[in-house]
Structures are given as structure tokens and as C-alpha cells.
């Protein structure tokens, strides 16, 4: 993708939900519409766009629906739930983008990929779950779910307790060549949704789904580097990344170098289930040839693209 600059935009499933992790379908569609409208600035700047998204709240809620009716209907495994929410959110984004393109007389093709992402069967993440999914609970309800359902629960950044599952690192993207081909042809590509459907590959090359949720930031970084993107835009609930978060010394970061980002990460400023994967993905993206990574909120996308908001992480050489 050398003819035009490319950007990968990765937004969390939380961006489509209310603060408690519960939103109606109509509310999620409204937020999808807001997100898609915010991306118009990138098209105006001449970027080829690949969109990926998280699905933590959605897949967690879907699992709860599955488990609540398990006595009457056999529940689907986590990898299948990933596939279902990947398709759902991809549909939402595509529909809203098409409507926006029609309204603004933009003639761009769009394609959604149901994407499988390979993980290692022996990834240590399977023994140390860190990925938050589903809605927030108070301590009492969290303890009850742990006791009655056997769920692993953990506090999420002081906002409440949520279920956690394994989050192995992506090793390969099965459909990467097809994704790159469509991006090269100037399609707006929606891929690696929810971090991709986690699969393992046996010695014969056969694939099998596994119970996990891949962090979408790592998948976004991987596909971004594969297509030669120069910008990685990571959308979060906060406007900027902060060090010393939740302390009197908390400090928001506006513009930092790759080296500074690495130092802050080593010092432990970014927790593994929250901002940690975003900083790791940004660092790896820049090390692999990307020019800039931006971490910001949905509301600040347009200003961040212009360098006026968010946390801008740049490679100095």
C-alpha cells in the first residue's frame, strides 16, 4: 500500500456502550453512527482506512444470554460468540458508513471480513486471564457470580467488577492476504473485529476455535503493519493516556516519543487489562515501521488526527 497512506482505526467495544456496559441495540447504533461520522476527517486527508473494533462488553453480554437459557438451548462456545459479535458489530459499522457515504456523496466500496486470528495453544495467557468482558458489577454481585457461576472476576480501573477471560497474543491472521488485497483496491475494510476469532492451527494446518478473547489493539497493530499503515488510531474511554493514574501525581500525556512510551510502560504505569495492551500495541507498531500512534477518545478523534488532542506517540527516526 505505497501509493496512498493508510490508517488503522481500532475502537473498543466499550465505545458503543454505556458506562455500566449495558446499552440497547439502538443506543449502540447511535454511537456507531457518531464514530463513523468522526472518521470523515481521515477520508478528507486521503487515508486508506482499515477499521477494527473490540467486543468485550458485547461478547460478555452474549455469553450471559447463552448461559441464562442453557437448560433449554445448548450454549455456544466463546469462539462462536466472538464470531457472532464480530459479524454484528461489522454489520453496524458497514451500514452506518454506507449511509454516511450516501449522504456525503462519497463513492467508496466497503467490505467486512469475518476474521480468524491464530494464537499459540501454549500461550501463558490461558493460565492467567486478564481480558475484561461483559458489564460491570458491584462487589456483592461479583462475589455471587464467582461463587455461583465460577466466573473469574476482577476490578476494572475502579469502575466496578467484570468477568475476565484469557487473552492470548495474536500469532497470525488467516485472512491477511485477502484483507490487504481489498485495502490495496481502496476498499474501506472492516476486519479483525473483537481482535479476531481465536483459533489454533495443528501440524497439518487445520484450524480449531479456542475459548479466549484476543485484544483488538494487538490484532490492529499486526494487520496495520502487514498492510504498511503509517497511522494507528486507538480509541479509548479517555481523551489522553495518563501516568500515575488515580494518584495525586496523575499526569496526562499529550505528545511522547517511542522511547518515552517504552520507559513509562517498563515503570508499570499501564495495567495489563486496560491501557497496557494499547501502549504495547502502539510501541510494537512504531518499532515495525509505523510513523505515529494516537490514543484518544471517540469525541476527540477529529482533533487528535490534526495533532491537537489525544496522546500522540511518535517515532523520532
State the average pLDDT over residues 275-293. Answer: 94
**216 catalytically annotated:** yes
Q: Which of 194, 278, 292, 310 is catalytic?
A: 278
Give the relative orientation of helices 258-266 and 276-287 as an angle to the nearest 10 degrees.
140
- Give the containing element (helix H, strand E) for 221: helix 216-227
Range name among 22-31, 110-119, 271-280 with the lowest pLDDT average? 271-280
* pLDDT category of residue 21 using cuts at 50, 70 and 90: low
133 located within any domain = no
Phi and psi at residue 231, to the nearest 5°? -130, 135
Could you confirm whether 278 is annotated as catalytic? yes
Question: What whole-number percentage of the chain has pLDDT above 70?
Answer: 97
292 is catalytic: no
Measured CA angle at 17 (ends 189, 67), to 5 deg = 95
pLDDT, one tens digit per residue, over 169-219 is 999 999 999 999 999 999 999 999 999 999 999 999 999 999 999 999 999
Strand runs (DSSP E) across 110-158, as ranges? 110-112, 116-119, 131-137, 153-155
Q: Is residue 222 part of a domain?
A: yes
Residue 44 has pLDDT above 90, yes or no: no
In a domain, 289, yes or no: no
Asked whether residue 270 is domain-assigned, the answer is no
Is the residue at 316 inside a domain?
A: no
Cβ contact 151:73 at 8 Å: no
Catalytic residue, chosen from 48, 96, 131, 240, is 131
The pLDDT of residue 187 is 97
State residue 235's pLDDT score: 92
Q: Would you say residue 84 has pLDDT above 70?
A: yes
**For residue 35, what are the domain limits?**
6-117+174-229
114-155: pLDDT as tens digits: 999 999 999 999 999 988 888 788 999 999 989 988 889 999
Instruction: Tell me which of 13, 21, 290, 310 is the catalytic residue.
Output: 13
Q: How confident is the model at residue 80 (pLDDT cuts 50, 70, 90)?
A: very high
Which CATH number do you get for residue 100?
A: 3.40.1160.10
Per-residue confidence band for 48, with pLDDT thresholds at 50, 70 and 90: very high
pLDDT surpasses 50 at 2: no
Q: For residue 242, is it within any domain?
A: no
The residue from 216, 273, 290, 292 that is catalytic is 216
pLDDT at 272 over 80: no
Is 13 labeled as catalytic in the residue annotation? yes
pLDDT for residue 249: 92
pLDDT at position 1:
43
Does 273 score more than 70 pLDDT?
A: no
* Residue 234: partners with Cβ closer than 8 Å, 6 or more residues away: 10, 11, 217, 220, 278, 281, 282, 293, 294, 295, 296
Is residue 94 domain-resident? yes
Whether 275 is in a domain gets the answer: no
Which residue would you say has higher pLDDT here, 17 or 303? 303
Record the cell numbers describing residue 287, joined without a space.
518499532
Domain count for the chain, please give it.
1
Residue carrying the nine cell digits 527516526: 317
Amino acid at each position: 500500500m505505497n501509493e496512498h497512506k493508510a490508517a488503522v482505526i481500532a475502537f473498543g467495544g466499550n465505545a458503543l456502550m454505556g458506562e455500566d456496559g449495558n446499552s440497547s441495540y439502538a443506543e449502540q447504533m447511535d454511537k456507531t453512527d457518531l464514530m463513523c461520522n468522526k472518521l470523515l476527517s481521515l477520508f478528507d486527508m486521503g487515508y486508506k482506512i482499515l477499521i477494527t473494533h473490540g467486543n468485550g462488553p458485547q461478547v460478555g453480554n452474549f455469553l450471559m444470554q447463552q448461559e441464562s437459557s442453557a437448560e433449554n438451548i445448548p450454549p455456544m462456545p466463546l469462539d462462536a460468540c466472538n464470531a457472532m459479535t464480530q459479524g454484528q458489530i461489522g454489520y453496524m459499522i458497514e451500514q452506518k458508513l454506507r449511509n454516511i457515504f450516501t449522504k456525503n456523496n462519497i463513492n467508496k466500496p466497503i467490505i467486512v471480513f469475518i476474521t480468524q486470528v491464530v494464537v499459540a495453544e501454549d500461550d501463558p495467557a490461558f493460565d492467567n486471564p486478564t481480558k475484561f468482558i461483559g458489564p460491570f458489577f458491584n462487589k456483592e454481585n461479583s462475589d455471587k457470580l464467582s461463587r455461583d457461576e465460577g466466573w473469574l472476576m476482577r476490578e476494572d480501573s475502579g469502575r466496578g467488577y467484570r468477568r475476565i477471560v484469557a487473552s492470548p497474543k495474536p500469532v497470525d491472521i488467516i485472512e491477511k492476504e485477502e484483507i490487504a488485497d481489498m485495502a490495496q483496491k481502496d476498499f474501506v475494510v472492516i476486519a479483525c473485529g473483537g481482535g479476531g476469532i481465536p483459533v489454533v492451527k495443528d501440524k497439518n494446518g487445520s484450524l480449531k476455535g479456542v475459548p479466549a478473547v484476543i485484544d483488538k489493539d494487538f490484532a490492529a497493530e499486526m494487520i496495520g503493519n502487514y498492510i504498511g499503515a503509517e497511522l494507528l488510531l486507538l480509541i479509548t474511554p479517555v481523551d489522553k493516556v495518563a501516568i500515575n493514574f488515580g494518584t495525586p501525581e496523575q499526569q496526562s500525556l499529550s505528545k511522547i516519543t517511542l522511547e518515552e512510551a517504552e520507559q513509562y510502560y517498563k515503570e508499570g504505569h499501564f495495567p495489563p487489562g486496560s491501557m497496557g495492551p494499547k501502549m504495547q500495541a502502539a510501541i510494537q507498531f512504531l518499532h515495525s515501521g509505523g510513523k505515529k500512534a494516537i490514543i484518544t477518545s471517540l469525541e476527540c478523534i477529529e482533533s487528535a488526527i490534526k495533532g491537537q488532542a489525544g496522546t500522540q506517540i511518535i517515532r523520532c527516526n
